[in-house]
Structure 1
Amino acid sequence: MSAPYTPAAPPTFPPASTAPSQPPPTEAVARAPPHSYYGAPPPAQHPFPNAFSSTGPTQPQAPPPVSPQSFPQAPPVSQPPFSTAQVPPGPTQSYGGPLPPTQPSFSRPLLPTSQPSTFPAGPPPTSTPSQLPGVMQPQPPVSQPSPYHSGPPPTSTGFPPQVGAPPRPPFAGMQGPPMASQGPPMASQGPPLASQGPPMAQANHVPPTQPGMPPGPINASLSGPPPQLGMLGYPPQQNGEHQCEPFYRVRGPHPGYTGPYPGQPNYGAPPAAPAAAPPALKRLDPDSIPSPQASDMPPVQKTRHRIDPDAIPSPIQVIEDDKANKGSEPFTTGVRGQAPPLVTTKFQVKDQGNASPRYIRCTAYNIPCNSDMAKQSQVPLAAVIKPLAPLPPDETPPYLVDHGESGPIRCNRCKAYMCPYMQFIEGGRRFQCGFCSCVTEVPPHYFQHLDHTGKRVDCYDRPELSMGSYEFTATVDYCKNNKIPQPPAFIFLIDVSYNAVKNGMVGIICQELKTLLDYLPRENPDVESNIRVGFVTYNKVLHFYNVKASLAQPQMMVVSDVADMFVPLLDGFLVNVSESRVVIESLLDQIPEMFADTRETESVFGPVIQAGLEALKAADCAGKLFVCHSSLPIAEAPGKLKNREDKKLVGTDKEKSLFQPQVSFYNTLAKECVAQGCCVDLFLFPNQYVDVATLGVVPTSTGGSIYKYTYFQASSDQERFLNDLRRDVQKQVGFDALMRVRTSTGIRATDFFGSFYMSNTTDVELAGLDCDKTVTVEFRHDDKLSEETGALMQCAVLYTSCSGQRRLRIHNMAVNCCSQLADLYRNCETDTIINFFAKYAYRSVLGSPIKNVRDSLVNQCAQILACYRKNCASPSSAGQLILPECMKLLPVYLNCVLKSDVLQPGADVSLDDRAYLRQLVSTLDVSESHVFFYPRLLPLQKLDVMSMSLPVAVRNSEERLSRGGVYLLENGLNIFLWVGVNAQQELLQNIFGTPAFGQIDPNMTSLPALDNPFSKRLREIIESFRAQRSRYMKLMVVKQEDKLELIFKHFLVEDKSNNGGASYVDFLCHMHKEIRQLLS
């Protein structure tokens, strides 16, 4: 929410941002932690190290921006070792003048709304060889549950005949895959990956399973590994580069390897028998839990790796280093081109002239001065913008500025809004635009004198002159048809066909709405919400309800002519909740009873959205439709669909057609919705194929959301559905929004990704824009940029607030420009680059074969790293892989995107699940895409109940799990609690109330509320994780060696996946080969 701005207040500043701007952090070499989190890697017989110590990192200093990680050469010369090279630090430009000691007197809001590291050597751990892209054909995937379902199809006794395909059985062929033996070791791979889609896939959500299974996708969350052994600082060299000692020894080839990359693919060959394991060695762990013997380790395939996984860049290490270096001080935004802390670091933001990273994150904070350099590096230039992002309680929401009847002050030529980049001249009578350099007269009412530095004397009293983000009240000129908008409306449209009634959805939502309607969004918590509500139920026909306050009972009106939809009543359909409460409650009690005995199995869908749209048109207001729908709309009506699920098309050039809508009707309907400001949120409860690719067109074009609860069962899925519904109804939202991104001369916004509609090339139209939605913008050069002035971006969003007020929210961002590639590579943000790559790839599957999409991703990543190696790194052996410090995690994260279900599905991942995930990822912010692709995995046996801090996460690999431990994995869509077969009895007693592994119920979806400190702390952690995510994460308990463990292993993304996705180690070797080919 915005705080009103009172110009008359004296220039005293609220304490929220008193700190003067900090100088850019000096670049220092990170010191090594005193000891490692892991012992030496286990020998081949001990594939799973025990839990790791949770000691926090100890480097207090900021890391050097780029540093080499080098993998020394093994006896065979062609074996690729790795290293990261460091580039000399570049100058940081400070934007603006010195900051005043005080803070502006804006009135308070009503509502708050990469470090170098070396990695230790160790004996080669076991690992699964995996195929990499090159000429590799994906292995036939082992059948396994798709991670998107909530439970198995219910038994069909007593059900009316279903139309369409029967629900597929969960767990088809669920035996565990022979992971170890799949595919040849990577050393023998053939040609480069760019020429062929690599078979790297990994499911991103939960498959259908028994009733206890979570419905929605599960995704990976990022948490990096703890610091490793023997980390050495990098001594500065004379030439300004930091060269590091090789950080891991490559041993000679194992007996089974003929050499690195011999180029003899045996993809079709039967799985090779695992090599005999060497004699067991006892492994010491700096851990309170005794180290398990070989017999205690989870049975993982005994295979061989040439590279020690502890010796390659670790996400956990990077995350922990960033927390140590950047988590303690506030991040002040007054320095141009300063990269913010990672999304995994908790930090406070002080707005001093650039937008907070909570609103805008860039792929690079120092962009190339010209297009040739940008093309050479292949680093995408993009920004992920979340215009209405919620802020933590200790940060001030954007102030609301009123420039009076004439509206906000703007540049005459490019129409940019007044911001800190405007330069006042001629004593303050005119200002020069920072975007287009045009000079504009200052209106008399806005005139103010300048001080000796050329700044206005009221600069720090005006948010638009001193802050990166603020809001303007918009005048009637900014309103549709030059008319002040009506308050918006919410319309609930509920499917009452047979399935929706029988699975309990209808009764649950009607009961919930009785209380939920008291929590409609409002700007002032002390004032009643202005939002009006209406209700429709439907199957093959639509039922509208008159709930006018003066009625004793609600009245139903039925529209059976669905081919020509109209709203049969105006007065009494949209009402104020407090005035009509008695009638609304009576209606919500009656709906489940009215349809309890329905035998109607068919339903419509297109006319349902038409009905809501027509109601908003009749009321002349914007609003949101909450549609709860359960089946493929096969009834005769506009928008009727047929079942087109055809698994035979998967993997062919025609696969892209399955992601495209099967009829154009919904595209036209979406366009009409946007014109009216009608946003659609869709809650799906399917038991079989519903064609999410087509049903999702309207939600994804109007700024809406899709929620999916496959095989919905009230007992296990009610909590997730109700929490999603509550959050969706209550969250901050703007209506009838229009967003434009302006840039300074030299670059322009050329491409946009997200849930919106565009009728031209510049304006992003959103019928609804909520606090979770992001719009990702790609920029390209159209001229040269200057290092002196940098590049500017202004995002302006015009929207109607939930109280009906028209507003403009402005976010400004300035970044540096560079003429040296080293400066670009030193100031990139890998998490944002991966967010962009995922959205770009997921959109590309609409028009290109998936193999081509995967190949282009790998090729672009290889080009980025090859350009760095060629132009920025110190000379070194071709056998070393050299990664820029800021991008050393690019390969591991990119591999997670390639292995995701959209780009490399397992056999049991449905087309609907893939379409759902594809649409979901398009609007994720950087923190959610991070955890989606690289889940957060916490060892609970290390949880200190006396501390508020969490145990250090462990890497997403089965090797990191101890049979004696219990682990929590979250990926933004689900939470898993993995229980090792030898978990300590005391731990099990504290969590589950039973000391016996065999007595733990794998179907539980919530933990028992036990009266002990461990149980309380664990439940607090789970709730805090849920609060950080836009969707409610259902809890799944997974017992080791249980059939559900296959689902859990989908999210151990550093391992080879059952559907042919490469392990991190193998993919890194493959990337190295690609880079060497580009360089040669």
Structure 2
Amino acid sequence: MGLSQPSCRFWTPLYVVNHGETGPIRCNRCKAYMCPFMQFIEGGRRYQCGFCNCINDVPPFFFQHLDHIGRRVDHYERPELSLGSYEYVATLDYCRNNKPPKPPAYIFMIDVSYRNINSGLVKLICDELKTLLDKLPREEQEESSAIRVGFVTYNKVLHFFNVKSSLAQPQMMVVSDVGEVFVPLLDGFLVNFQESRSVVINLLDQIPEMFADTNESETIFAPVIQAGMEALKAAECAGKLFIFHSSLPTAEAPGKLRNRDDKKLLNTDKEKTLFQPQVNSYEALARDCVANGCCVNLFLFPNQYVDVASMGLVTMYTGGTLYKYNNFQLDADSPQFLSDLRKDIEKKTGFDAIMRVRTSTGFRATDFFGAIYMNNTTDVEMAAVDCDKAVTVEFKHDDKLNEDSGALIQCAVLYTSISGQRRLRIHNIGLNCSSQLADVYKTCETDALINFFAKSAFKAILSQPLKMVREILVNQTAHMLACYRKNCASMSAVSQLILPDAMKVLPVYMNCLLKSCVLVGRPEIPTDERAYHRQLVMSMGVADTQLFFYPQLLPIHSLDLKSDAVPAAVRCSEERLSEGGAFLLANGLSMFLWLGVSTPPELIQGLFNVPSFAHISTEATSLPDLDNPFSKKLKSILEHIQSQKPYTMKLIIVKQREQPEMLFRQFLVEDKSIYGGASYVDFLCCVHKEICQLLS
């Protein structure tokens, strides 16, 4: 693997250090791993830990003399001494039961109830898997993937399939006792796709026909996850479950759910229950999945309430991803779903991961937010982690920090690679410290602040009334800005609102957070949609939350065809739109192309190959392939925006003054929301009033 600098995308190629059975060097006291912040002394025979300052002996295999400035002569050859991020190949001490791990497995679990068969969804999934299984992730130096695959279908019962390479036909085994799920076979269930290709392809051809005449509409759900976890446990490997499900699990089985979508609970103290799991068994199941390295990816295709808060819990705790396609239509929604499935199967993932964050004296990590599970206060457990997941860490400053040595943070992640190799990935960073409050405001990362406030608020709604959570967010905003006004800003009239340069966008982002569907309890907003957005944000990184809360709005009519430059984004407000313009809006989940009633005919012709505004169809979910500069440039922009985001954004064509425009206007976040949220200007006035009260 090649050398690279630390990246915001977690699973990037890094230098792998292999010290054989010697393992990584750790401080005897604080257990921090060796990093560039450690100082060698006594000719390289001992070193001083940068985190706790204690003196440690250097193991004999690591001994080398120092140069004239007290640095090891092999400084640049050892990534742990010169890079902020690096990896060790872990020793058996870091493996379960002191045994090398096996490569992970992917289990595909398909809901074959009446609706999924009748809609053509099952056939779509099976047809796509035939080509996708050739693209399972592999290590760069490997010719083929080490990941094994297995297949389960289900409705009220479970069907396991034996796809052993020596078989002429796949064999089905039915598990009807869903109260006490067991795995009916071991040999032949998890297989190497290349070896069992003909049997697997045969199975995927047969599944839609096998259940073509089904009338079964009731489904189970928790036993499906339990069965997948038991299969991975029996095979002694970590892995992912890909579950394709469409309805509320109402069949008699553990994890059975009822419809509890009660609008009367909105804006009451009991509203928080809508975001909590309906039954305790899902939390216990999530805990077992994490303990066994079982990550759950859930693809939901609901046309009514399915209780995302309960069904998505295991997905969130295990580091999985939840995809949701409301009222799925085969023709309109297949491209989006298939793109999401492809990206998820092909992405690099770390399995059975444990993360620990260490700090130098003076501050400490106190809380963690993300698609994670925590059994104690220090170990962050993830059945899987990939490049689209982020963990947000809250630090508490509880002692004096040294301005000379700064503050040090080390993040260590122990995980199993896709080839079955146990590895330790170490990230180190040194931060400057200052005793001047003005320096804190000057270097503030507002985008990171919003990510933190969003996650802490979305966690708080599980235990506190939404009204209280919203009030706390407003108060915190006012306190931060009042503190700046009082201690850092120059004297000015009280009526003047003063914002730090690095925090000028804080109020607009905070208002967007307050207007998000999660924190706004209105009967028009489906409960499942609120629970879905809450879960997505909990695992988002800084760049994704930035776009999610404040969408990108590009004036497409201003495209310069002679340049590679993208038009500068404009503010998300109706006053920025124009009847003669076309605008592209994207927030990471949705993408809109808004067209004014007076859009020039040549622009319409170039994009849609139709003569006028009236001829544009809003049914299309993609632009036609046209051989002209304008169409090619816009398609290039769409692809670029999409390539940077984990979810595939379905394109929605919106014509001015037509009904779908109401949906588009919800994303013009600087305006007053149709659900009652304040405009940016009104929120600024509210915050200014709070600041004045705090300073009076």
Question: In structure 2, what is the equivalent of residue 548 of structure 1?
Answer: 164
* Identical columns (%): 66
What is the CA-CA distance between 1:472 and the residue it aligns to? 0.7
Distance in structure 1 (CA, Å) of the matches to 2:373 and 2:119: 34
* 3-state SS of 2:191 partner: coil
Cα separation, 2, equivalents of 1:398 and 1:489: 24
Counterpart in 2 of 1:136?
A: none
Matched to 1:710, the amino acid is N
What does residue 867 of structure 1 align with? 483
Kindly indicate whether the alpha-carbon contact (under 8 Å) linking 2:151 and 2:189 is maintained by their aligned counterparts in 1: yes
- Which deviations, in whole Å up to 9, do the C-alpha atoms of 1:258-295 show, x marking residues without a partner? xxxxxxxxxxxxxxxxxxxxxxxxxxxxxxxxxxxxxx
Query: Structure 1, residues 777-818: CA drift from partner, whole Å, max 9, x if none?
Result: 100023211111110000000000000000011111111111
State whether structure 2 residue 370 is matched by structure 1 residue 754: yes
Alpha-carbon distance in structure 2 between the residues aligned to 1:781 and 1:801: 35
Task: Check if 1:578 corresponds to 2:189.
Answer: no
- Residue 962 of structure 1 is matched in structure 2 by 578
Q: Does 1:533 align with 2:149?
A: yes
Q: Check the 8 A contact 1:792/1:812 in 2, yes or no.
A: yes
* The one of 763, 768, 775 aligned to 2:384: 768
Is residue 266–residue 523 contact of structure 2 (8 Å, CA) maintained in 1?
no
Larger radius of gyration: 1
CA contact (8 A) 2:116 2:246 kept: yes
Amino acid at match of 1:931: L
Inter-partner Cα distance in structure 1 for 2:71 and 2:525 = 60
Q: Secondary structure at the match of 1:969?
A: strand
C-alpha distance in 1 between matches for 2:94 and 2:398:
30
Match of 1:49 in 2: none
Q: Is 1:808 equivalent to 2:399 in the alignment?
A: no
Match of 1:817, SS?
coil
- Contact residue 597 and residue 656 of structure 2 kept, 8 A: yes
- In structure 1, the residue matched to 2:22 is 406
2:644 maps to 1:1041: no
Q: How does 1:1014-1033 map to 2 (within 5 A)?
A: 1014-1033=630-649
User: What CA distance in whole angstroms lies between the structure 2 residues aligned with 1:782 and 1:441?
Assistant: 30
Equivalent-residue separation in structure 2 for 1:402 and 1:899 (angstroms): 50
The answer as to 2:254 corresponding to 1:634 is no
Q: Is the 8 A contact 1:496 1:537 kept in 2?
A: yes
Which amino acid in the other structure matches residue 647 of structure 1? K
Equivalence for 1:737 = 353
Are positions 1:712 and 2:328 aligned together?
Answer: yes
Cα distance in 2 for partners of 1:899, 1:957 equals 14
Q: C-alpha offsets along residues 1018-1043 of structure 1, whole Å, 9 cap, x if unaligned?
A: 11111111111000010000000010
Contact 1:800 1:807 in 2 (8 A): yes
Shift in Å at residue 670 of structure 1?
0.9
Residue 526 of structure 1, CA deviation: 5.0
Runs of 5+ unmatched residues, structure 2: none
Distance 1:448 1:933 in 2: 52
Q: Distance in 2 between matches of 1:502 and 1:909?
A: 29
Q: Distance in 2 between matches of 1:525 and 1:858?
A: 52
Q: Within 5 A, what are the aligned runs for 1:14-163?
A: 108=2
CA distance in 2, matches of 1:455, 1:882: 48
Matched, 1:938 2:554: yes
901-910 or 628-637: which moved more?
A: 901-910
Q: Report the counterpart of residue 483 of structure 1 in structure 2.
A: 99
Instruction: Describe the superposition over 1:384-434 as per-residue Cα deviations: whole angstroms up to 9, x where unpaired.
Output: xxx32x5xxxxxx32111122110011111111110000111111100001
Amino acid at match of 2:571: R
CA drift at 1:452: 2.2
Q: Which amino acid aligns with 2:351?
A: F
The 3-state SS of whatever aligns with 2:151 is strand
Shift of residue 763 of structure 1?
0.2
For residues 879 and 448 of structure 1, what CA distance do their matches in structure 2 show? 65
Structure in which a larger fraction of residues adopt helix:
2
Is the CA contact 2:30–2:52 (under 8 Å) kept in the aligned structure 1?
A: yes
Q: 2:428 and 2:521 mapped to 1: Cα distance? A: 40
Q: Which amino acid aligns with 2:55?
A: V
3-state DSSP of counterpart to 2:160: strand
Task: Indicate conservation of the 8 Å contact 2:148/2:190, yes or no.
Answer: yes
1:503, distance to aligned residue in structure 2 (A):
2.2
Matches within 5 A, 1:260-659: 351=5, 355-356=6-7, 358=8, 387-388=10-11, 390=12, 397-524=13-140, 526-659=142-275
| 1:884-936 deviation digits (Å, cap 9, x = unpaired) | 00001100010000000000144321100000100000011111101100000
State whether residues 532 and 574 of structure 1, in contact with CA within 8 Å, keep that contact through their aligned partners in structure 2: yes
CA–CA separation in structure 1 for the residues paired with 2:182 and 2:162: 15
AA at the equivalent of 1:532: R
TM-superposed CA distance for 1:559, in Å, is 0.7
Superposed, which structure 2 residues align to 1:1008-1019 within 5 Å?
1008-1019=624-635
Q: What is the CA distance between 1:448 and its match in structure 2? A: 1.6
Cα RMSD for the two superposed structures: 1.0
Q: Return the offset for 1:995.
A: 2.4
Kept after mapping to 2: 8 A contact 1:907/1:1059:
no
Between the aligned partners of 2:325 and 2:376, the Cα distance in structure 1 is 35
> In the alignment, what sits opposite 2:688?
1072
1:1035 counterpart SS class: strand
User: Separation in 2 of the partners of 1:880 and 1:1068?
Assistant: 11
What one-letter code is carried by the residue in structure 2 that aligns with 1:420? Answer: P
Correspondence for 1:266: none
* Structure 2 residue matching 1:536: 3-state secondary structure: strand
CA deviations 1:661-698 (Å, max 9, x no partner) are 01110111111111110100011011111100000111
2:597 to 981, 984, 1008: 981
Asked if the contact 1:743–1:792 (Cα under 8 Å) also holds between the matched residues in 2, the reply is: yes
How far the C-alpha of 1:460 sits from its partner, in A, is 1.4
1:881 is the counterpart of 2:494: no
Cα pair 2:275 2:462 within 8 Å, conserved? yes
The code of the aligned residue for 1:1024 comes to: H
1:660 lines up with 2:272 in the alignment: no
Letter paired with 1:731: K
Contact between 1:504 and 1:713, CA under 8 Å: does it hold in 2? Answer: no
Corresponding letter in the other structure for 1:406: T
Residue among 420, 437, 446 paired with 1:830 = 446
| Structure with more of its chain in strand, by fraction | 2
Does the aligned pair in 1 maintain the 2:267–2:521 contact within 8 Å? no
Kept in 1, the 8 Å contact 2:595–2:656? The answer is yes
Shift of 1:594: 1.2
* Cα deviation code 1:13-69 (max 9, x no counterpart): xxxxxxxxxxxxxxxxxxxxxxxxxxxxxxxxxxxxxxxxxxxxxxxxxxxxxxxxx
Aligned-partner Cα distance in 1 for 2:556–2:542: 26
Partner of 1:950: 566
> Gaps spanning 5+ residues in structure 1: where?
4-107, 110-349, 360-386, 391-396
Residue aligning to 1:157? none
- 1:582-606 Cα offsets, whole Å, 9 max, x none, are 0101100110111122111100001
Aligned equivalents of 1:480, 1:571: Cα separation in 2: 22
Report if aligned partners of 1:739, 1:763 keep a CA contact under 8 Å in 2.
yes
CA distance in 2, matches of 1:485, 1:1044: 52
